[in-house]
Amino acid sequence: MAELGAHLTAASAGDDRPSIFEAVAQDSLMAAVKPALQHLVKVLAESNPGRYGFLWHWFDEIYVLLDLLLQQHYLSRCSASFSENFYSLKRIPIGDCKQQPLATAGLPKRQHWKSLLLLVLVPYLKGKLEKLVSSLREEDEYSIHPPSSSWKRFYRAFLAAYPFVNMTWEGWFLVQQLCYILGKAQHHSPMLRLAGVRLVRLTAEDIHALEKKLAGATSSQTPSIKTQVQSAVRKALGGIAFSLSSGLSVSVFFLQFLDWWYSSENQEAIKSLTALPTPPPPVHLDHGASSALLPKLKTVCPLCRKIRVNATALSTSGFVFCYRCAYSYVKTHQRCPITGYATELQHLVKLYSPES
């Protein structure tokens, strides 16, 4: 434990290497944005299916397109993804270069496109695969296939292998994070290694260069039409990015609060906080008199004391009588003969036994 603490302290005390907490936190940041947008789209689609239904139907594709534009903007502007820039991190190519490139210089073309594809395409394909597995499991449970069907064998083989593949994938990430904590790896995620980059903290020079680049972009004079269009697109993406970054903390807190509020562990507490006062019980007949009316044999009618004919229950109390007995009593007294609950003829429910 002491050795692990020493490695964590050394990692967090480094000049440029982010701690494991910063690295994992930026990974989970974008994971909190998608559920929020998905819930918003679901509410819109349910309120007006004709107008917003397509948003729900094509949500994954629309989200991956927006994510592509957002990540492209940040990778081009500050050599980092949206979540990495949120935590003041940047990507640099793997190497032993003593002088790190500024964030405004951007990544080399190869590392840039590999980073973009791994940031956007891999989560999209993983989500699609999880949905496919879920639908195949439902189809395997409810569909009818011959025992020797090739599709049936393929489904079962695929569904049996998927948990082990998923466990291997998650274990790969866990081992990489442990190596990063112990100082044995430069990356906390295999995706960074595949992209050929590593994460470092932004320096004062990086921040100054980013501010200078932003100021220079806003002070350009007599731009061409192409430059104006590009500037408008950059401003739109910048506005979206600024709105996301400024409201992200509140959104994440709100999502965590909703997860806690609707979790199964808190359902009892929610019911106790939101439950209405219990109404007083209805007026009963005398307990001794009502119990005396009930026969010991459950198939006997409490009124005629004979085996029930055309068993009929009163929905107001649940007791069962002969249809003729219940009909006559309720029509005359407008109450249940056992409990005294107010009852009308419409509360008579005919019971059907399996034999009938």
Contacts of 319 (CB under 8 A, 6+ apart): 302, 313, 336, 337, 338, 339
pLDDT of residue 260: 61
Distance (Å, whole) CA 30 – CA 248? 10
pLDDT tens over the chain, length 356 residues: 444 444 444 444 445 788 888 888 888 777 777 877 788 788 888 888 888 888 888 888 988 998 888 888 888 888 888 888 888 888 888 875 566 777 778 888 898 999 999 999 998 999 888 888 888 777 666 555 555 567 677 777 888 888 898 899 889 999 998 998 888 888 888 898 888 898 888 888 878 887 777 666 555 445 567 666 766 776 666 666 556 555 555 665 666 666 666 555 566 665 666 666 665 555 555 554 455 567 888 889 989 999 998 999 998 888 899 999 999 999 999 988 888 888 888 899 988 876 65
Q: What is the pLDDT of residues 48-90, one digit of tens each?
A: 888 888 888 888 898 899 888 888 888 888 888 888 888 888 8
What is this structure's pTM? 0.57
pLDDT of residue 3: 45
Please list the residues that pair with 314 across neighbouring strands. Answer: 348
Residue 152 phi, psi (nearest 5) = -60, -45
How many alpha carbons fall within 13 Å on the CB side of residue 100? 22
Please state whether 94 falls in left (phi above 0), alpha (psi between -120 and 50) or beta. beta
pLDDT of residue 4: 43
Q: Nearest CA to 89 among 6, 201, 175?
A: 201
Provide the CA 210 distance to its chain's centre, in angstroms.
34
Q: Which residue ranges form the domains of the chain, and what is each CATH number?
A: 16-215 (no CATH), 296-355 (3.30.40.10)
Q: Nearest CA to 180 among 28, 24, 31?
A: 24
Distance (Å, whole) CA 121 – CA 123? 6
Distance (Å, whole) CA 193 – CA 123? 16
Distance (Å, whole) CA 189 – CA 144? 42
Burial class (CB in 10 A: 0-12, 13-18, 19+), 198: buried
Which three-class secondary structure state does DSSP give residue 349? strand
Q: Are 196 and 109 in contact (CB under 8 A)?
A: no
Q: Please work out, in degrees rounded to the nearest 5, the angle formed at the alpha carbon of residue 265 by the alpha carbons of 261 and 270.
A: 50
pLDDT of residue 2: 43
pLDDT of residue 256: 61
Residue type, 180: Y
pLDDT of residue 71: 87
pLDDT of residue 312: 93
Residue 237 phi, psi (nearest 5) = -65, -40
Q: Are 124 and 60 in contact (CB under 8 A)?
A: yes
